[in-house]
C-alpha cells in the first residue's frame, strides 16, 4: 500500500524537525552543555519521533481498515450471516484507538474470508 502524499509529507516535515533536534543534541554534547538541557532536548526529539510514528501508523491502519470494511460490505449481500458484525465495525470505525485498529483489521479480514467462502457456496464452479 502506498502512503498518500499528504500523510507522507506531514511525516517528512516532522522528521526534518526531529533531525534538527538531533543535530542540536550533537552540538550540545560537543559543547559540554548542562545535562538538564541535553535531557530536555532528548525528550523533545523522542516525543517528536513518537508523534510522527503514531501519525503514520494511525493513518495507514485506518486506511487499511476502511478498505477492508468496504470490500467486506460489498461481498455481503445483506443476509450473509455476518452483516451485523460488519455493520458494527463500520459504525465504530471512527473511534478506534491504534491498538483497536490492528485487532479490527484482523477481525474484518476473517469476516472477509468468510464472505469469500459464502460467495463460493453461492456460486459453485
Confidence class for position 125, pLDDT limits 50, 70, 90: low
The pLDDT of residue 4 is 67
Instruction: Decide if 101 contacts 58 (C-beta within 8 A).
Output: yes
Query: What's the predicted TM-score (pTM) here?
Result: 0.59
Q: What is the pLDDT of residues 87-114, one digit of tens each?
A: 888 899 888 888 888 888 888 888 888 8
Q: Which of 38, 42, 58, 45 is nearest to 14 (CA)?
A: 45
Instruction: Decide if 56 contacts 3 (C-beta within 8 A).
Output: yes
Q: What is the pLDDT of residues 40-71, one digit of tens each?
A: 999 999 999 999 888 888 888 888 888 888 88
What the block records as the C-alpha cell of 40 is 530536555
Amino acid at each position: 500500500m502506498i502512503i498518500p502524499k499528504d500523510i507522507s509529507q506531514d511525516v517528512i516535515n516532522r522528521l526534518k524537525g526531529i533531525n534538527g533536534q538531533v543535530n542540536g543534541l550533537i552540538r550540545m554534547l560537543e559543547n559540554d552543555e548542562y545535562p538538564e538541557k541535553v535531557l530536555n532536548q532528548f525528550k523533545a526529539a523522542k516525543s517528536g519521533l513518537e508523534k510522527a510514528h503514531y501519525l503514520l501508523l494511525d493513518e495507514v491502519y485506518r486506511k487499511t481498515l476502511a478498505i477492508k470494511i468496504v470490500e467486506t460490505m460489498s461481498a455481503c449481500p445483506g443476509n450473509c450471516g455476518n452483516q451485523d458484525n460488519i455493520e458494527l465495525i463500520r459504525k465504530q470505525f471512527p473511534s478506534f484507538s491504534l491498538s483497536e485498529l490492528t485487532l479490527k483489521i484482523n477481525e474484518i479480514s476473517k469476516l472477509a474470508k468468510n464472505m469469500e467462502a459464502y460467495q463460493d457456496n453461492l456460486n459453485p464452479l
